[in-house]
Structure 1
Amino acid sequence: MHANRYQEVAIAALGAAPDVQSAEPWDRGDHTRGLHVTFTTGSQVWFGTAWAHPDGMKPDDDVVVHGEAPAEVPLPDLFDNGKVSPARAAEYLAAAFTNSRNTEILSVAAYGPENYNPGFGVRFHNGARAFNVIYHVARAGQGISGPAYQLPDTF
């Protein structure tokens, strides 16, 4: 998997989840790239994505390695009284990505609340890794506001 192709794969995987209204690329224009996900309630989350190439691979290389896709997992509850928490969003989207059945994916794991910020990581059979950290969240009808990484308990 290559970083440029990853965004397409992520958008397709996350956009297919039942509680996701849309998944789109996000580019802040300052080298911060990632994903913008809108849930069916209108709540939104923006992920900044960092990429680690496999050892010995150049940034422009796209070495495709297929293996067994991760086993499907149940989708956890996303909403609690119609609200989403950053940790629930990370867990839900990690499960949605896991269930994409993409044979380039080795594993997917959510970053829990004990980490600096919630998000999820994806490991690929070719050794590449994608790190998706929640950058901003917003309630329905709101856009990005306030400092990055200062997340409310629910949105």
Structure 2
Amino acid sequence: MRPARFQEFAVETLMKAPDVQAAEPWQEEGRPFGVHITFTTGSQLWAAITAASTSDKYDRPEVPVMDEPPVEVPVPELYEDGKITPARAEQYLAAMFTNAGNAEIAHVYAYTSGEMAAEPNTHPGVGLVFHSESKIFILFQHTARAGQGKGGQPFDLQSAF
């Protein structure tokens, strides 16, 4: 799945998530694809979307590869004392994408926690591997606590938001 189509899928999927108030396409300089998520507490997360593929040629029409979607997983608790940590956001978003029932998705994982966790200092985010062998990376960029900043201005990634 290519970034533009994934962005649409991400917004649609996250709008169905029980702890998400809003999800919309987002971009900033150098990051043409992303998603801005507002959780039910008013906390916000801005995440960039990037991709990698060894076989998909972007100068040709996209050909989705379908197979069994991932097996559903329990949805973890998002909040701790009314706040969200990047690790909790990773697990929650990974569960939402896993449980979406999308036949293009082979596997979803959190960067800093779970079975495929990378080094402890890895930037937080979520990865998706597709049956086509392409990959999408959702990199957490900015956060804002509820009521923080004028009009929900993004801040550097916080330890809790």
TM-score for both structures, normalised by structure 1: 0.90
1:109 aligned onto 2:114: no
| Map of 1:65 onto structure 2 | 65
Deviations 1:52-92 (A, max 9, x none): 12x23212431111100000001101001111111111110
| Map of 1:86 onto structure 2 | 86
**What percent of counterpart residues are identical?**
48
| Map of 1:124 onto structure 2 | 130
Return the alpha-carbon distance in structure 2 between the equivalents of residues 25 and 39 of structure 1: 15
Compute the RMSD of aligned alpha carbons: 1.6
1:144 aligned onto 2:143: no
| Map of 2:36 onto structure 1 | 36
Return the alpha-carbon distance in structure 2 between the equivalents of residues 119 and 44 of structure 1: 14
Q: 1:85 to 1:106 in 2, by over 3 A?
A: same
Return the alpha-carbon distance in structure 2 between the equivalents of residues 40 and 21 of structure 1: 5
Equivalenced residue count is 151
Return the alpha-carbon distance in structure 1 between the equivalents of residues 136 and 123 of structure 2: 15
Note the residue ranges of structure 1 that are not aligned, 5 or more in a row.
none
Return the alpha-carbon distance in structure 2 between the equivalents of residues 4 and 33 of structure 1: 7
Q: In the alignment, which of 103, 128, 139 is matched to residue 133 of structure 1?
A: 139
Return the alpha-carbon distance in structure 2 between the equivalents of residues 91 and 154 of structure 1: 14
Aligned AA (1:37): I
Return the alpha-carbon distance in structure 2 between the equivalents of residues 131 and 30 of structure 1: 15
Do the aligned residues in 1 keep the contact of 2:56 with 2:134 (CA within 8 Å)? no
Note the residue ranges of structure 2 that are not aligned, 5 or more in a row.
114-119
Do the aligned residues in 2 keep the contact of 1:2 with 1:63 (CA within 8 Å)? no
Deviations 1:98-127 (A, max 9, x none): 000010111100111624211100111111
Aligned AA (1:71): V
| Map of 1:75 onto structure 2 | 75
Secondary structure at the residue paired with 1:83? coil
After the TM superposition, which segments of 4 or more aligned residues of structure 1 sit over 6 Å from their partners? none
